[in-house]
Amino acid sequence: SRGPGAPADLAGRHVVISAGGTREPLDPVRFLGNRSSGRQGYALARTAAARGARVTLVAANSELPEPAGVDVLRVGTATQLRDAVRDAATDADAVVMAAAVADFRPAEYASGKIKKREGEEQAPITLRKNPDILAEISENRDNSRQIVVGFAAETDDALVNGRAKLARKGCDLLVVNEVGEHKTFGSDESEAVILDSDGTVTPVPFGPKEALADTLWDLVIRRFS
Ligand code: CTP
Ligand code: CA
């Protein structure tokens, strides 16, 4: 991070960041979840606060310590995350979706523990698609000057898939992480490429998630002016 001497170049701005991974309950003892630790989103919150922003961090199931000077809203499911981000976004200058959102949720929540059935090889579970929060936020901006940022983890053809995803989501910037074995999840370091809808490509070399966060804020600020 740029530390205490950071320029206050986000002063007067409100930024909303989602972090962590959503969990979709199946029954009282089980959920569908993912491995996101929340580290990238928390690094974004810390760096934005250090640069003078008012920060709302919508944290899904993260155990990381709450950054000082940041409003933290805790959520569990994708639906809760959508409601919290939507509310916070109404007066936001930038919305950054760093959370790993479950693509599907159980169609129904079972109030009692789901049981196996004799002779049934198929799981007694039906999944439904969750809303695409990033696409919704991008599309429903009241304020056309609001900057919307997504993240994507890709295993193959990161740039090609990233470019297509940026267009599909309608966001301004997309941070594309190439994931593989030890890369990105639960790590303090990552390597990425940031795609701008104007065609600009900004490679971010392997390094701390805070450095990636600061590079992203530089690009967001460039878009403000
Ligand atoms: N995202 C979202 N709502 C969802 C799914 C994803 O807001 N229901 C956001 C993520 O927070 C991330 C971006 O969309 O910023 C890209 O997520 P990703 O999982 O890569 O995109 P998907 O559209 O779900 O595509 P895929 O089929 O590759 O998983
Ligand atoms: Ca997905």
Number of domains comprising the chain: 1
Q: How confident is the model at residue 179 (pLDDT cuts 50, 70, 90)?
A: confident
Catalytic residue ranges? 34
Q: Is 132 annotated as a binding residue?
A: yes
**3-class secondary-structure state, position 171:** coil
Q: Which tens digit of pLDDT belongs to each residue from 2-34?
A: 666 778 999 999 999 999 999 999 999 999 999
Q: How far is Cα 176 from Cα 179, in angstroms, rounded to an integer? A: 9
**Interval between CA 99 and ligand 1 midpoint (Å):** 9
Q: Is residue 31 assigned to a domain?
A: yes
Is 196 annotated as ligand-binding?
Answer: no
- Compute the distance from residue 153 Cα to the ligand 1 centre, in Å: 9
Per-residue pLDDT tens for 127-178? 999 999 999 999 999 777 999 999 999 988 899 999 999 999 999 999 999 8
Q: Which of 17, 134, 147 to mutate to test the pocket of ligand 1 (most atoms within 8 A of CB)?
A: 134
Residue 119 lies in a domain: no
Mean pLDDT of 191-205: 96
- Ligand 1: atom nearest CA of 168 is 23
**According to the model, what pLDDT value does residue 78 have?**
98
Task: Report pLDDT for 156.
Answer: 87
Give the ligand 1 atom nearest the CA of 103: 8
Could you give phi then psi for residue 152, rounded to 5 degrees? -140, 135
In the Cβ-directed half-sphere of 84, how many Cα atoms lie within 13 Å?
23
Q: Establish whether 115 is an annotated binding residue.
A: no
Q: Is residue 72 part of a domain?
A: yes
pLDDT in the model for residue 182: 56
- Check residue 1 and give its pLDDT: 52
In 121-171, alpha helices (H)? 133-139, 158-169
129 beta partners: 104
Binding pocket residue ranges, ligand 1, CB within 6 Å: 78, 97, 99, 101, 103, 130, 132-134, 150-152
Q: How many CB atoms lie within 10 A of CB 68?
A: 8
Q: Best substitution site from 34, 138, 169 to test ligand 1's pocket, by max atoms within 8 Å of Cβ? A: 169
Q: What is the structure's pLDDT at 136?
A: 98
Q: Is residue 117 part of a domain?
A: no
188 lies in some domain: yes
Using CA atoms, how far apart are residues 213 and 176, in angstroms rounded to an integer? 13
Is 118 domain-assigned? Answer: no
pTM over 0.90: yes
Q: Is 167 inside any structural domain?
A: yes
Give the tens place of pLDDT for each residue, 87-133.
999 999 999 999 999 999 999 999 999 999 999 999 999 999 999 99
CA pair distance 179, 78, nearest whole angstrom: 22
Q: For residue 116, say whether it is annotated as part of any ligand binding site.
A: no
Q: Decide if 30 is inside a domain.
A: yes
- Nearest alpha carbon, ligand 1 atom 9: 134
pLDDT band at 70 (very low <50, low <70, confident <90, very high): very high
- ipTM for this prediction: 0.99
Nearest ligand atom owner, CA of 169: 1
The rounded distance, in Å, linking the Cα atoms of 63 and 87 is 23
CATH classification of the domain holding 143? 3.40.50.10300
| Ligand 1 pocket test, candidate residues 18, 101, 139, 193, most atoms within 8 A of CB | 101
Give the residue numbers spanning the domain of 39.
3-112+124-224
